């Protein structure tokens, strides 16, 4: 079959698809998922993961009356975002949010309702993934903004000037972009893991180990980790030495745009795998 | 071969859960009307229903529902409604939303989805409690709200796993009337139930299952005729029971002729019912016996079930 035939087939297939219905189904799925999962007591742990650094910074801002340096606090903020949020906070929150999307419904014995409606399973994957992304991004972007605000608010006019006349606003934009991409990337990984394994916690720990040690592997292998694409987006370099340096080293840096496109491509590849896996999924609650 | 778009077809279907057998080499076709799946616990009724609706995949064989497979969900689930036995609901769901949102996923606009929701709630007798959370419903109400969801989009095939469980006699009677009304519209209704008397009353045909195999399948009377190991029982209410019993005993195929305790009838067990009816006609026309009523005594699901499976079922 020639390339032209393939293109013609793809165009024909695309024209035959009820895209408007798919979009409407995705929006309903996102809405239902948000209503079901966003503001529930089960999510308290995730809210804590997101907002504990902001609370610590706020406590310092109120009670720490010693003289502070903007440059020093900028480094502290970079450490919080790169070492805490990207390595731990977003990682574990995404593990909790995205593995629960399908596995949670298996545990609650409600997944069959999703499989008994005229919705393609691929649409179901996309709808649930987007719902997870909305939750994770909203939570962690708010947390990062809160950290940023509390960190510089104590400096008064100097802090205001750093944000609006200096590099502050640009740094915040970079952090927000990297945070969103971290949620998207980790989200796709954990969604796929939840479809592959009944208990995704052990594979999750393996993924965490991989994300940690990936920098010591060849560059092609590093491209299979989420943090590889996040590092080039971080606006402040951490001067970390000793064993912790493994978290910050960039063996073969890539440009920001390549990092963004690379992470989005990795995410799409993992979602395609998830779409394949969801077709193999069966409702066997008794074996869960 | 193109699958028949009017039938539900199982072609040599087997399902194994690891090394455990779910169902084995099941083949049959079902037309419109009410079909009951009957069998003891673990006989494979729910597995068969889950296979039919694509919740699980066959290890081998193929299943077609009106020419469609669950791999075509957009078309398939517009035709099929399944009320499962799983008594679980999305947390915090209200009765109305439980029906309304799946209808929106079908592609119905708000007005139409709301209309269909209200109609389904009314048919299931749940309108009064529709705005309450499902978590506060009784077992019977939960059963009915699931039924309402399964019928809301007017499917051509309705699959009901133990739909009468937990219903009080009034709700049970209303549900049966609803199934009969749906079947009369030319739809396929497939029911699994262990309440054999009710199955017997409403079914057009039965599929008897045991240990993952289909033991018998067809119209109840046909299946009964196939059970040759057990002589058929025929109850004759008549004026001169002793004479009829004596005449019946002269026939080779009659294995028992028992006069009823009130003396006004005979229970005959015969291996050839047609021959016995011929004898009865002869006796009646000869004026020897005056017959008030003749009826088969064991061509119901319960008897067939006991002959073939050797158990009275019990709750599934």
Task: Decide: B215 and B209 in contact? Cβ < 8 Å.
Answer: yes
Residues 201-220 of chain A whose Cβ lies under 8 A from any Cβ of chain B:
none
Interstrand relation of B265-270 and B60-65 (parallel, antiparallel or unpaired): unpaired
Which residue is it, tokens 């779409």? A275
Asked if A24 lies within 8 A of B76 by C-beta distance, the reply is: no
Domain end position, chosen among B180, B199, B224: B224
**If you average pLDDT over every residue of chain A, what do you get?**
89
Please indicate, yes or no, whether residues B209 and B139 belong to a single structural domain of this protein.
Answer: yes
Domain end position, chosen among B160, B195, B224: B224
**Of A118, A281, A284, which to mutate for an interface test with B (greatest number of B Cβ within 10 Å)?**
A118
Task: Decide: B51 and A283 in contact? Cβ < 8 Å.
Answer: no
Contacts of A21 in chain B (CB under 8 A): 107
The pLDDT score that the predictor gives to residue B310 is: 66
Kindly state the tokens that stand for B45: 């009724």
Q: Which residues form the domain of B50?
A: 8-224
Asked if A112 lies within 8 A of B84 by C-beta distance, the reply is: yes
Q: Is residue B259 part of a domain?
A: yes
pLDDT digits (tens, 9 = 90+) for B226-255: 666 677 888 888 888 888 888 888 888 888
Lowest average pLDDT, out of A9-23, A50-64, B61-75, B295-309, goes to: B295-309
Please indicate, yes or no, whether residues B133 and B270 belong to a single structural domain of this protein.
Answer: no
Residues 110-139 of chain B whose Cβ lies under 8 A from any Cβ of chain A:
none
Helix (H, G, I), strand (E, B) or coil at B298: coil
Please indicate, yes or no, whether residues B195 and B239 belong to a single structural domain of this protein.
Answer: no
Q: What is the CATH number of the domain that holds B13?
A: 3.40.50.300
Q: How far is CA B264 from CA A145, A234, B243, B294, in A?
A: 93, 98, 11, 12
Please indicate, yes or no, whether residues B37 and B96 belong to a single structural domain of this protein.
Answer: yes
Q: Does A109 touch chain B (CB under 8 A)?
A: yes
Is residue B159 over pLDDT 90? Answer: yes
H/E stretch holding B205 reads strand B205-210
Q: Report residues of chain A scoring pLDDT below 70.
A: 39, 240-252, 287-288
The pLDDT score that the predictor gives to residue B1 is: 60
Rounded Cα distance, A13 and A206, in Å: 39
Asked if B55 lies within 8 A of A285 by C-beta distance, the reply is: no
Rounded Cα distance, B284 and B272, in Å: 19
Query: Residue A110: which of B55, B73, B90 has the nearest Cβ?
Result: B90
Average pLDDT for residues B77-84, to the nearest whole number?
Answer: 96
The pLDDT score that the predictor gives to residue A287 is: 54
Kindly state the tokens that stand for B135: 């978590």
Please indicate, yes or no, whether residues B73 and B151 belong to a single structural domain of this protein.
Answer: yes
Nearest 10 degrees: Cα torsion A160, A165, A168, A169? 100
pLDDT digits (tens, 9 = 90+) for A104-132: 999 999 999 999 999 999 999 999 999 99
Question: Chain A residue closest to B47 (CA)?
Answer: A284
The pLDDT score that the predictor gives to residue A244 is: 62
Kindly state the tokens that stand for B123: 């048919």
Alpha-carbon torsion (A131, A136, A138, A141), positive or negative: negative
CB pairs under 8 A between A and B: 72
H/E stretch holding B20 reads strand B20-30
The pLDDT score that the predictor gives to residue A247 is: 60
Q: Does A45 touch chain B (CB under 8 A)?
A: no
Rounded Cα distance, B128 and B132, in Å: 9
Please indicate, yes or no, whether residues B13 and B156 belong to a single structural domain of this protein.
Answer: yes
Query: Residue B88: which of A18, A109, A119 has the nearest Cβ?
Result: A109
Is residue B277 over pLDDT 50? Answer: yes
Q: How confident is the model at residue B288 (pLDDT cuts 50, 70, 90)?
A: confident
Please indicate, yes or no, whether residues B119 and B252 belong to a single structural domain of this protein.
Answer: no
Contacts of B57 in chain A (CB under 8 A): 280, 282
Read off the pTM: 0.84
Q: Is residue B65 part of a domain?
A: yes
Is residue B154 over pLDDT 50? Answer: yes
Lowest average pLDDT, out of A265-279, B36-50, B217-231, goes to: B217-231
Displacement of CA A47 from its chain's centroid (Å): 15
The pLDDT score that the predictor gives to residue A185 is: 95
Asked if B84 lies within 8 A of A119 by C-beta distance, the reply is: no
Kindly report the nearest CA distance between residue A271 and chain B, in angstroms: 19
Task: Decide: A138 and A200 in contact? Cβ < 8 Å.
Answer: no
Closest CA to B157 of B47, B217, B229, B68: B68
Task: Decide: B124 and B145 in contact? Cβ < 8 Å.
Answer: yes
Straight-line distance from the first to the last Cα atom of chain B, in angstroms, rounded to the nearest whole number: 36
Report which DSSP code applies to A287: G
Is residue B313 over pLDDT 60? Answer: no
Please indicate, yes or no, whether residues B277 and B213 belong to a single structural domain of this protein.
Answer: no
pLDDT digits (tens, 9 = 90+) for A225-234: 898 888 888 8
Contacts of B94 in chain A (CB under 8 A): none
Q: Does B88 touch chain A (CB under 8 A)?
A: yes
Kindly state the tokens that stand for A37: 């999962």
Question: Chain B residue closest to A112 (CA)?
Answer: B55
């Amino acid at each position: 079959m020639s390339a032209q035939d393939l293109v013609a087939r793809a165009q024909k297939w695309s024209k035959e698809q009820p895209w408007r219905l798919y979009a409407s189904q995705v929006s309903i799925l996102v809405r239902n998922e948000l209503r079901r999962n966003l503001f529930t007591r089960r999510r308290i742990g995730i809210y804590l993961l997101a907002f504990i650094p902001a609370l610590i910074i706020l406590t310092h801002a109120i009670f720490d009356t010693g003289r502070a340096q903007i440059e020093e606090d900028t480094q502290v903020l970079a450490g919080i975002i790169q070492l805490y949020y990207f390595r731990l906070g977003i990682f574990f929150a995404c593990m909790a949010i995205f593995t629960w999307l399908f596995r949670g419904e298996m545990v609650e014995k409600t997944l069959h309702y999703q499989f008994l409606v005229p919705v393609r399973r691929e649409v179901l994957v996309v709808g649930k993934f987007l719902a997870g992304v909305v939750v994770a991004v909203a939570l962690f972007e708010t947390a990062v903004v809160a950290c940023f605000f509390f960190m510089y608010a104590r400096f008064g006019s100097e802090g205001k000037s750093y944000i609006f006349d200096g590099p502050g606003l640009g740094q915040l934009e970079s952090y927000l972009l990297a945070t969103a991409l971290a949620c998207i990337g980790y989200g796709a990984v954990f969604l796929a893991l939840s479809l592959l394994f009944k208990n995704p916690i052990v594979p999750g720990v393996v993924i965490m180990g991989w994300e940690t040690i990936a920098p010591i592997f060849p560059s092609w292998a590093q491209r299979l980790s989420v943090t590889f694409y996040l590092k080039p987006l971080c606006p402040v370099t951490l001067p970390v030495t000793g064993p912790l340096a493994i978290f910050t080293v960039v063996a073969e840096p890539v440009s920001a745009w390549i990092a963004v496109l690379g992470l989005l491509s990795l995410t799409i590849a993992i979602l395609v795998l998830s779409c394949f896996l969801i077709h193999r999924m069966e409702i066997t609650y008794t074996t869960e | 071969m193109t699958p028949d778009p009017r039938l539900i077809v199982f072609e040599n279907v087997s399902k194994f859960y690891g090394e455990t057998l779910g169902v084995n080499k099941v083949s049959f076709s079902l037309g419109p009307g009410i079909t009951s799946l009957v069998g003891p616990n673990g006989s494979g009724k729910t597995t068969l229903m889950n296979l039919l609706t694509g919740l699980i995949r066959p290890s081998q064989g193929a299943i077609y529902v009106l020419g469609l497979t669950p791999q075509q969900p957009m078309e398939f689930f517009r035709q099929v409604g399944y009320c499962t036995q799983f008594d679980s609901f999305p947390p915090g769901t209200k009765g109305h939303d439980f029906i309304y949102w799946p209808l929106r996923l079908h592609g119905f606009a708000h007005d139409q989805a709301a209309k269909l929701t209200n109609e389904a709630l009314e048919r299931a007798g749940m309108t009064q409690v529709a705005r309450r959370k499902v978590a506060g419903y009784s077992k019977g109400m939960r059963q009915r709200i699931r039924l309402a969801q399964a019928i809301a989009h007017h499917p051509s095939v309705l699959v009901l796993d133990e739909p009468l469980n937990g219903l009080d006699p009034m709700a049970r009677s209303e549900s049966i009337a609803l199934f009969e009304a749906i079947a009369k519209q030319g739809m396929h209704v497939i029911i699994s139930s262990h309440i054999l008397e009710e199955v017997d009353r409403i079914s057009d045909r039965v599929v008897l299952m045991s240990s993952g195999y289909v033991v018998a399948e067809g119209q109840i009377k046909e299946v009964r005729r196939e059970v040759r190991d057990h002589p058929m029982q025929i109850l004759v209410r008549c004026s001169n029971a002793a004479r009829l019993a004596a005449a019946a005993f002269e026939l080779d195929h009659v294995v028992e002729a028992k006069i009823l305790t009130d003396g006004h009838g005979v229970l005959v067990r015969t291996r050839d019912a047609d021959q016995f009816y011929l004898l009865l006609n002869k006796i009646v026309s000869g004026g020897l016996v005056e017959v008030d009523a003749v009826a088969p005594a064991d061509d119901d699901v319960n008897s067939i079930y006991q002959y073939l499976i050797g158990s009275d079922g019990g709750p599934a």
